[in-house]
Amino acid sequence: TSEREGAVEYVFKVVVIGDSAVGKTQMLGRFTKDEFSVDSKSTIGVEFQTRTVSIQGRLVKAQIWDTAGQERYRAVTTAYYRGALGAVLVYDITRRQTFDHVARWIDDLRSHASPSMVVMLVGNKSDLASDHHSRAVTTDDAVEFARDQGLFFYETSALRGDNVEAAFMRLLEEVYAVAV
Ligand code: GDP
């Protein structure tokens, strides 16, 4: 991964969506700064963060947008989706409702976003899954749902860092394959 800003050839806008408190902001912080912030809402008001990665030898700047809390009021707007080539749709594996709402987020994407947008479904907080009482969404259910809807899928832990890099990189590689 190179960070030589001067040689960036492509900029990909990616939006992060999903219910409140599923870990969207922490996932973004993990991917762009490799950090997990205890003061979770420190990035409020910041519209996007960037990270430059190398894909097939080309420097791609990922410009990753955070809802900054708008999803609480179901006020994520068309402007938020405009120009986005990829979406990370996050739910919390310990809260069933956040998975049940994924279909609603997909409707949102279908009405506001480009049909060619690449969507990565992410079940976050996998660090809590070792306690079987905490898990509320099985991996099998999510895999099946993702397959039916044509989404890519990963379970991640923004807290531990597990799979966050893999999920974002896979998404960016798929966007590259579609858009370049
Ligand atoms: P957002 O509202 O979707 O942006 O969610 P945040 O990123 O603010 O996270 C919501 C809460 O979940 C915070 O208390 C985070 O510390 C916590 N959290 C986020 N990701 C993880 C994770 O992977 N594991 C655990 N255990 N907690 C997490």
pLDDT, one tens digit per residue, over 138-159 is 999 999 999 999 999 999 999 9
Residue with CA nearest ligand 1 atom 6 = 23
ipTM over 0.90: yes
Query: What does the pLDDT read at residue 34?
Result: 74
Backbone angles phi, psi at 134, to 5 degrees: -80, -30
Best probe residue, ligand 1, of 40, 98, 102, 164 (max atoms within 8 Å of C-beta): 40
Query: What does the pLDDT read at residue 41?
Result: 52
Query: What does the pLDDT read at residue 148?
Result: 97
pTM, two decimals, is 0.92
Query: What does the pLDDT read at residue 1?
Result: 47
Distance 167 CA to ligand 1 centre (A): 17
Distance 71 CA to ligand 1 centre (A): 15
Query: What does the pLDDT read at residue 96?
Result: 97
In angstroms, what CA-CA distances link 21 with 1, 24, 92, 97, 143?
Answer: 30, 7, 8, 12, 22
Distance 41 CA to ligand 1 centre (A): 10
Distance 6 CA to ligand 1 centre (A): 33
Q: Which residues of the chain have pLDDT under 50?
A: 1-2, 42-43
Query: What does the pLDDT read at residue 2?
Result: 47
> In this structure, are strands 48-55 and 118-124 parallel, antiparallel, or unpaired?
unpaired
Distance 9 CA to ligand 1 centre (A): 33
In angstroms, what CA-CA distances link 150 with 61, 115, 120, 136, 143?
Answer: 25, 12, 9, 22, 10
Q: Which residues line ligand 1 (CB under 6 A)?
A: 20-26, 40, 124-125, 127-128, 157-159
